[in-house]
Amino acid sequence: MALALPFLVLFVRGLPHFPSTGRDLDVILFSLVLAGLGTLLTLFLALTLAVLGLAGRVVGGWEALLLLGYLVPPFVTGMGLLFSLGALGVRIQGVPGILLAWTLHYAPLAYLLLKPQVGLALGLLATARVHGATGIRSLKAFLPPLFPPLLVAGGTLYLALLGNFGVPAVLGLPERVYVLPTLAYARLLSPVAQDPLGEAAALGLWLALLALPAVLLARSALLEARKPLLPPPKPLYRLLFALYALTALALVLLGLLREALQNPYTGRWDPAFTQALGLPLVQKGLRNSLLLALGATGLLLLLALALRPSPRLLKGIRGVLDIHYLLPGTLLGVSLILLLAPTPLYGTPWLLLLAYLLHFAALALRALEGGPAVEGAVLAGRVHGLSPGRAWWRLGYPLLLPSLYAGVFLIFPLAFSEITLSALLYAPGAETVGVAVLSALNGGLYREASALGLVLMALAALALLGRPR
């Protein structure tokens, strides 16, 4: 009940202002349509990549290169596309840029969700062709196994796009293109709003209403797929997969490199890292983000380790905390403001730490829950005279170290570069590196913002070290 308290406060505070949101109906419908269209585009691209990857037997480096695109913060993806395509004379601010950034950024996530069932479907397709089924008849073997994972992946993507703040902030706000998260942020900071918190809470209720159906889909379990019997590998498909992975990365990376390393006036080599790291706001942001990410990662994994000996309790708590991760971060941010604004926590880094703990807890619990089954080893220790605590300390926890290692490299980069909660909850002196990057970008310090974007990309690449082999 306590974990759901922020959302209950949001409901109570926003309900009186809910009728007045009729004036924002255009933004509400626009957010719904834009998230839906982005979901369809991303699903199509991810399904294509899954077919290419499985049919071409893509493993290792090329797949890791694709996954890097998802580990890079979304707003960095938006910045990279802005500068890369801008150098070619292509203006992408507004709806086209938002859709392109969303599709490139979230396609790797959908690829991971779809890959197991696509493998099964390709195996069934090969079997159907062996038995003489061709054309449309063969598709009857390929498509039905994909419907459940497509619904799950679609629900997950829709939630991510509906609540995404970074990309619309970079590519939408300069063109006055608003979605619900950026509109709630603008209302919260509006100097003319009669009740900024109430209006932001009412928009948060709309976010919750639009997200609720997809939450049920995203929480569904994917069907487990046995190792498929695939046709012989096709080198051309592997080449196409690699070409996409390189192109997607280049579209983000090259613009940032050009902006950060080349002086726009002289055209000479002039890295902007020193200037970027010398900005007081950046120094504060890096320090705060480092401490927050380390604190959140350490506390959450310790919690997961403490709960791991009780699988039923872990699963129950994780089921509740899943909501905090699946629902848009704007909801959690506004809810915590409403709940804790009268307390000493408000305006301090401790509020951000609490938000990070709630938002990323499900990832930590899943990292340990999805680890190897160690109960057999613990039971063997008990049989040989060890107490429950010593059995877990000497046998159970050492076997979970790879999962713990993967959890560190998953949670730390995401927490370090988090922007949605940070933009809503920070106060002077408690800025994060994400806030510093957006501030530099909005202040016209494009070179410094690009240099920081490259730093965040390098940190994201470290997360691949924790990727299960």
Reported pTM: 0.86
The pLDDT value recorded for residue 293 is 92
The pLDDT value recorded for residue 294 is 93
Share of the chain above pLDDT 90, in %: 28
Mean pLDDT of the chain: 83
Is the per-residue pLDDT at 137 higher than 90?
no
| pLDDT level of residue 248 (50, 70, 90 thresholds) | very high
In whole angstroms, what is the distance from residue 241 CA to residue 235 CA?
10
The pLDDT value recorded for residue 190 is 78
For residues 277-306, give the mean pLDDT: 91
Q: Burial letters for 380-417: b for 16+ Cβ neighbours within 10 Å, e otherwise?
A: ebeeeebeeeebbeebbbebbeebbebbbbbbbbbbbb
Which range among 2-16, 207-221, 419-433, 454-468 has the greatest average pLDDT?
Answer: 419-433
- Predicted confidence (pLDDT) per residue in 364-401, tens digit: 888 777 666 777 777 777 777 778 778 878 777 788 78
Between 178 and 216, the more confident residue is 178
Is the per-residue pLDDT at 222 higher than 60?
no
Between 119 and 442, the more confident residue is 442
- At position 221, the amino acid (one-letter code) is A
In whole angstroms, what is the distance from residue 341 CA to residue 336 CA?
8
| Tokens read off for 109 | 């996530």
In whole angstroms, what is the distance from residue 187 CA to residue 201 CA?
10
| CA nearest neighbour of 69 among 90, 45, 36, 93 | 45
For residues 435-447, give the mean pLDDT: 90
The pLDDT value recorded for residue 291 is 94
For residues 300-309, give the mean pLDDT: 88
The pLDDT value recorded for residue 378 is 76
- Predicted confidence (pLDDT) per residue in 327-347, tens digit: 778 888 888 888 888 888 888
| pLDDT level of residue 288 (50, 70, 90 thresholds) | very high
Identify the weakest region by mean pLDDT among 113-117, 184-188, 252-256, 332-336.
Answer: 113-117
Between 135 and 164, the more confident residue is 164
Domain boundaries, the chain: 9-261, 274-469
- Give the C-alpha distances (Å, rounded to integers) separating 436 from 130, 390, 431: 58, 46, 7
- Predicted confidence (pLDDT) per residue in 403-419, tens digit: 787 788 778 888 898 88
Share of the chain above pLDDT 70, in %: 88
Instruction: Confirm whether 9-261 and 274-469 share one CATH topology.
Output: yes
Q: Tell me how far the alpha carbon of residue 12 is from its chain's centroid.
A: 28
Residue by residue, DSSP assigns 225-286 as: -PPP-PPPP-HHHHHHHHHHHHHHHHHHHHHHHHHHHB-TTT-SB---HHHHHHSHHHHHHH
In whole angstroms, what is the distance from residue 121 CA to residue 456 CA?
37
Cβ contact 163:207 at 8 Å: yes
Is the per-residue pLDDT at 28 higher than 60?
yes
Domain 274-469 has CATH 3.30.43.10: no
The pLDDT value recorded for residue 224 is 42
Between 295 and 56, the more confident residue is 295
Q: Which CATH superfamily is domain 9-261 in?
A: MetI-like (1.10.3720.10)
- What region does 221 belong to: left with phi over 0, alpha with psi -120 to 50, or beta? beta
